[in-house]
Structure 1
Amino acid sequence: MDSITHTLFGLTLYGTVDKKHLDIKHKRAYLVTAVGASLIPDIDVLSRFWDTEGMYQMWHRGITHSIFLTPLWALLFSILCLLLFKVKDKKLFFFGWLAVTIHNTSDLFNTWGTGYLEPFSSLRITFGTIPIVDFVVWIIMGLAYIFSKRKRGKSPFYFRIAWMFIFLHFMVQTIQGIFIYNQYDKNYDQVALSAGFIPWTFSVVAKKEDTVTIFSDSLFHKTKEQYVLLSSEGADLDMLFDKRPEAKTLYEWAPFVVLVDDNDRIGLYDPRFYRNGQSFLFEYIEKNN
């Protein structure tokens, strides 16, 4: 999910806390833990500043998003709350642990993928059933906020209901995505799913030999073929990987790629992000260089 959504996740989680009997220091500790722990895995974006080997694609959503690192992030915020607010509360540890786990787990459902099992596995897990920016989730959290302001005494109740609806939304989207995925899986060599911004719509990227076809699909409308892409499967990628290490990282990171080898350039791109004639994840070199 994007940083705005993760921040809203943190605020919505903070909203579930019954703060009637909490003093100002405890309230601040819970707020910092909820929002901070909901954002901390994305600290890996700082790796851009020292990446000299084109590894950022693999580092982003890598080890910092591991489920095995979640208790360490929670411990970090417990220590911060002790130092900043003089608050020692074991509930804060589990609260922070929940916030980080929500971040890492929700990212599994996006197309981008997550190193959820690092360092024990480098597999990038992606379901592709929830868009990175999900306006349905925003609306659910927004409604919880509005209702909480009208009846402040029931504020935690509304935010807890919001989490129930978010969970239900994720499950409904994912069940539909799995059903659509299975319709293609037996007919193609490789298949990847990418959720659309409109609820219950998906892009299905299917590869068979050297042809990649991108479909728009849903349980509620007919399948539409959007793009047919030809991959130069026989392309020699050694020079590309040597001159553009980011290309090798992308090749290893993506479920599958489309190879480009024409008179002007050699490269590869991730077809899951193909829109309007190009993919924003495209690494290449000019042949005349």
Structure 2
Amino acid sequence: MESRIRLGVSSCLLGAKVRFDGGHKRDRYLTDVLGGYVDYVPVCPEVEVGLPIPRPALRLVRDSHQDVRLRFSKGGEDITDKMQCWAHQRVQQLESEQLDGFIFKAKSPSSGMERVKIYPESGGMPDHHGIGMFARIFMEHFPLLPVEEEGRLHDPKLRENFITRIFTMKRLRETLAAGSGYGGMVDFHSRHKLLILAHSEKIYREMGRLVAHGKTLPFETFQDQYRTLLLKAMSLKTTEKKQVNVLQHILGYFKKQLSADEKSEVLEKVEDYRNGLVPLIVPITLLNHYVRKYKQDYLQEQVYLNPHPKELKLLNHV
């Protein structure tokens, strides 16, 4: 039985009443939709560091030395050192959770991954260039792990990219856990080739060279290098141009099988996608039809054509 995705998440997004005002910020997409495929590991920095519920609000403050501090908005008590000490310990603990990614609470002074308000110590208007204190330490400790904020997941392209990445992480974790050595990794790479190509042709070629010479390296070294390259590739966003390149690459496998009309139909749908007239699911569905019709065994194994459960409908909106 396949394992489930393991995601760290800000506790309030699951409905836990841990916010400064005693409330929560439950995100129904995370709990009711994505939750069907995910085991969540909830984290609330404020509660886990020992703060009460309710409590005064926290904020990031830039002091006179240009250092960013974490302080209560009322009274100004500084808990920077306490939060940083806890955060460094917490990310060490999270290593054992084998996380496939993390979803942070947007704009939080502890957990926002970008655009968090930083207030000047002397008063005045804040800038919006901050990173939550725990989020920063987490991302520094796990620099290539997929991370997102719940607000950004409402953008269809960002959502599809993030979910593709975490499903890929899960499959890699399962492959390594199976203990099938070089053979298992070669099989994993073979099934993910086109998906990697859709993210980065440069890294796709680099990974091909690594796999070709993998047995000349100790397996642990090969595994670490492969994982690093995979995560780097998947962190790069796909574009219409990259997707069209892969779709045309797939079409090349049918040179001797598609009739002139069938080929024309595929090219028409690819061009419609390029011009923004149809979502990616349209040419993908047509190609999947021909993969089954002409029994293209290699393409049947390509994760690119089925990167995540169709029930999530992610390719319908990109």
- With the length of structure 2 as denominator, give the TM-score of the two structures: 0.27
In terms of fraction of residues, the more strand-rich structure is 1
- With the length of structure 1 as denominator, give the TM-score of the two structures: 0.29
